[in-house]
Amino acid sequence: MARTRQQTPAPSPVGLAAAEPADIQRLVEELDSMLSRLRLGAIREQLDGLLEEAARRQLNLREALAWLCAAEVTSKEQRRLSMAMTIARFPFVRTLEGFEFEAQPSIDPGKIRDLATCRWVANGDNMVLLGPPGVGKTHLEVALGREAVARGYTVQFTTAMELLGSLVKGQQQGSLEARLAQYSKPKLLINRCAEGCAYDELGYLPLEPQAGHLFFQLISRRYEQGSVLISSNRPVEEWDEVFGDQVVAAAILDRLMHHSHVVTIRGDSYRLREKRRAGLFRTPAGGSSSAGIGGLPPPTPAKEA
């Protein structure tokens, strides 16, 4: 036979009105389990401290109740945030506060701060981040993704490899529909680039021939419903090469770019900038930063001192 959970009978307001001191004492003894039943875990865990603080500040009953509720709301919000961050599967923590705008003068800080309000996510618009490797695209993807989570939007990070690989596998195994539905669910889908691995970004991947078609299906499904934040090392004019099909690339770009915010970053790799600062590399003589892969000059090892 199933065991029934023992629960304290809820005191009726009428009963309370006529309560004797002994009844109140009994309620106090039941307080812990009543707080558990009401799922007020933070109040239960911090009760002594909160009540002491309320007494020290000489709060009246209404103020003390508000003080307790605030502790519970804060704790629940922190738990929600931490769960949503886990679900989003960010590869690492990066924040807007940690982004050195002076290091990338081609980025308008005002535009990024405006994007951080996430109005574009609320509207189901897209965002495209373009630029050579190491200029902070993934940093901004993570930072903006975290802002979206903080504002209550569901976010999912995924690598281009993971996403397209999953869709291709889905098609082969007859589960494409389920996978498209899975990637259509979050309000914001971000293509993740593994740190230090430019090949993971859209632009360097050797794509399966059908990957472009499958990506188009996903973009169409999310069109005007949920936002996509995508980064690439390759300018959009070269995406027909990326997808290996001019018609598919045009169709993807048509939907992706219709309501979109494009941020193009020009400049040096932040990683190499740090290495140069440390004296590991020197900028080549007459060093223009617009040559080489994605506008990046090949690093020249510094001469031994």
Residues lying near ligand ADP in the complex (CB under 6 A) are found at 94, 98-100, 103-104, 131, 133-139, 193, 195, 270-271
Closer CB to ligand ADP, residue 132 or residue 212? Answer: 132
- Note whether 193 binds Mg ion by CB under 5 A: yes
Q: Determine the 3-state secondary structure of 79 from DSSP.
A: helix
Instruction: Report the nearest approach of ligand ADP to the CB of residue 104 (Å).
Output: 5
Q: Which residues in 220-249 contact Mg ion (CB under 5 A)?
A: none
Residues 76-115 that bind Mg ion (CB under 5 A): none
Going by the DSSP 8-state scheme, the letter that residue 225 receives in this structure is: T
DSSP 202: B
Neighbours of 45 (CB within 10 A): 14
The pairing of beta strand 281-282 with beta strand 260-264: unpaired
220 Cβ partners below 8 Å, 6+ apart? 255
**Reduced to 3 DSSP states, what percent helix, strand and coil does the chain have, rounded to the nearest 5?**
55, 10, 35
Cα angle 263-218-234, degrees, rounded to a multiple of 5 = 35
138 binds Mg ion (CB under 5 A): yes
Least distance between Mg ion and beta carbon 290 (Å): 19
Which C-beta is closer to ligand ADP: that of 108 or that of 224?
108
Residue closer to ligand ADP, measured from CB, 96 or 218: 96
Choose among Mg ion, ligand ADP, none what residue 294 binds, the Cβ cut-off being 5 to 8 Å by kind: none
With H, G, I as helix, E, B as strand and everything else as coil, classify residue 296: coil
Q: Among residues 137 and 187, whose Cβ is nearest to ligand ADP?
A: 137
The residue ranges that bind Mg ion (CB under 5 A) are 137-138, 193
